[in-house]
Structure 1
Amino acid sequence: MLQYFLLINDSNVLEMGEKKVNSTSNFIETLNTIGYRVQSITTQNIIEKKVLNPIDAVILRVRISDLFQWTQKIISIKDVPLIWWCDSYTSDNDECKLNLGIDGMIFPQMEPAKLHWCFQLSANHHQLKTQWKKERQQLLFKLEERKWIEQAKGIISKMKNIPEAEAYDFLRKQAMNDRKRLADVAISIVKVHQLLNE
């Protein structure tokens, strides 16, 4: 559950005058009233780990042209749900981009119940995205291991003049005897083979 937000305001938007745009202070007051805590800074502030440590999510009130850059900057420090504040000043062009790096979007005139739903959906989207990233990394890791095993099988098969199925059994037995992972034994074999062939 998201509780503590960091609101990053584009300093250029704020310079246009709060009367022209929906007031940040009114929005923060609304969030505080419905049980959320908000810390507000401008884009001129330096974003550090200590600023993001207690934060559950970040609301970005920045122009759409700067949004992806900001999402990348924040994610490099802390991976939290990112929510874009969309109004006439932040969506300053008609270009609709799909890859903005955000988990949700809010509009300053949203009612409290809709803000709750938006924050819940943003948290869920972020959780799914994080899970997909982990699964992708695991699949890439397994694929890389598989490549080493296939190379080692080919080397053993050629050196011992045996079929690849037997080479795989040999590799597996060697890993069991050495009490090592199959991929680690395969990597050692391929690297030694490359070293000897240089």
Structure 2
Amino acid sequence: MRSLLVIHNRAAEPERQAVSASPKPAPPETLLRAYGYAVARATDEAEAAKRIAEADAAILHIPVSDIPAWASLLLKRKIVPLLWWCSEATAASSLEACEDNVPIDGVLTASMKERELHWALHFGAKQCFERQQWHNERAQLLSRIEERKWIDMAKGILCDMKRITESEAYDILRKQAMNERKRIVDVAASIVKVYQLLQEQKQKGAKR
């Protein structure tokens, strides 16, 4: 991991500078470049969306409350580790935003030595991979649940209409899927939708 994108929230910069009367600290990119990283900087969504393509990780030098929106923007473009740069300014501006569901993979500070920062980035990348794997597994599970719902509904319709068992109904779905070269869930969804449409038409006819 050698290429980093540092995100600054331009709109909040004046407010952050007013947090402390002490001299303005060096920005994160100064330290990161000194440690040998190639660093790009972005202060708005257009810049970030363009530059994230070349980055191995994103460093968010922003208040915690701004992280979810930036994370959503960046991760739509590219899956990368997201690390929060905790400075005096960003920490002070985050006091009212102690959220549990902040999508970051690690925390960096200006006090970190080169090896400390290296390992923080390394484990951040590992955390990012595990988080993405969990999201993929969750999406697959939800998809399987949705598929099972359609198949069970179709089996129920076939059982009622044909007076057959669930096993026989499933065999019908499977054979139809093979004949039509479709997935069983697609055949099941078609049956359910046609059945629901027929029921709606019957109800409308009964009201006339």
TM-score, with normalisation over the residues of structure 2? 0.82
AA aligned opposite 1:59? I
Deviation string, structure 1 residues 134-153 (Cα, Å, up to 9, x no partner): 11111111111111100110
Amino acid at match of 2:23: K
**Using the alignment, how far apart are the partners of 1:18 and 1:131 within structure 2?**
44
Q: Which residue of structure 2 lines up, in the alignment, with residue 139 of structure 1?
A: 141
Instruction: Determine if contact 2:87/2:110 at 8 Å carries over to the other structure.
Output: yes
Q: Does 1:3 align with 2:11?
A: no
Q: Write the distance in 2 (CA, Å) between the matches of 1:62 and 1:131.
A: 26
Deviation, structure 1 residue 131: 1.1
Partners of 1:118 and 1:175 in 2: how far apart?
50
Report runs of 4+ in structure 1 exceeding 6 Å deviation: none
Query: What is the rounded CA distance, in whole Å, between the counterparts of 1:179 and 1:65 in structure 2?
Result: 49
| 2-structure distance, mates of 1:65, 1:143 | 33
Distance 1:127 1:13, change over 3 A: farther
Q: Deviation of residue 95 (structure 1)?
A: 5.7
Give structure 2 stretches of 5+ with no counterpart: 201-208
- Per the alignment, residue 182 of structure 2 pairs with 180
Instruction: Please state which structure has a larger fraction of its residues in helix.
Output: 2
Question: Which position in structure 2 is the counterpart of 1:31?
Answer: 32
Task: State the AA in 2 paired with 1:178.
Answer: E
**CA distance in structure 1 between the partners assigned to 2:64 and 2:178 by the alignment:** 55
Unaligned runs of 5+ in 1: none
Q: Name the counterpart of 1:64.
A: 64
Q: Which residue of 2 aligns with 1:168?
A: 170
1:107 matched to which residue of 2?
109
- TM-superposed CA distance for 1:22, in Å, is 3.0
| Aligned counterpart, 2:204 | none
Q: Does 1:89 align with 2:89?
A: yes
Structure 1 counterpart SS, 2:67: helix
Residue identity in the other structure for 1:96: C
Q: CA deviation at 1:183?
A: 0.9
Aligned residues between the structures: 194
In the alignment, the residues of structure 2 paired with residue 15 and residue 175 of structure 1 have an alpha-carbon distance, to the nearest angstrom, of: 64
With over 3 angstroms needed to count, the CA separation of the structure-2 counterparts of 1:13 and 1:85, relative to structure 1, is: farther
Once superposed, what is the RMSD of the aligned Cα atoms?
2.3
SS of equivalent to 2:104: coil
1:106–1:173: structure 2 CA closer, same or farther, 3 Å change rule?
same
AA at the equivalent of 1:55? A
AA matched with 2:192: V
| 3-state secondary structure, aligned to 1:80 | coil
Give CA-to-partner distance per residue, 1:71-99, whole Å, 9 cap, x none.
23322343321110112211112763322
Q: 2:173 corresponds to which letter in structure 1?
A: L
CA distance in 2, matches of 1:71, 1:186: 37
Could you tell me how far apart the structure 2 residues matched to 1:3 and 1:32 are? 10
Task: Please report how far the alpha carbon of residue 14 of structure 1 lies from its aligned counterpart in structure 2 after TM superposition.
Answer: 6.3
Q: Deviation per CA, 1:5-25: give whole Å up to 9, x if none.
A: 11123423664489634312x
Residues 17 and 89 of structure 2 are in contact (CA less than 8 Å); yes or no, is this contact kept in structure 1?
Answer: no
Q: Cα distance, 1:48 vs. partner?
A: 4.7
CA offset at residue 118 of structure 1?
Answer: 0.3
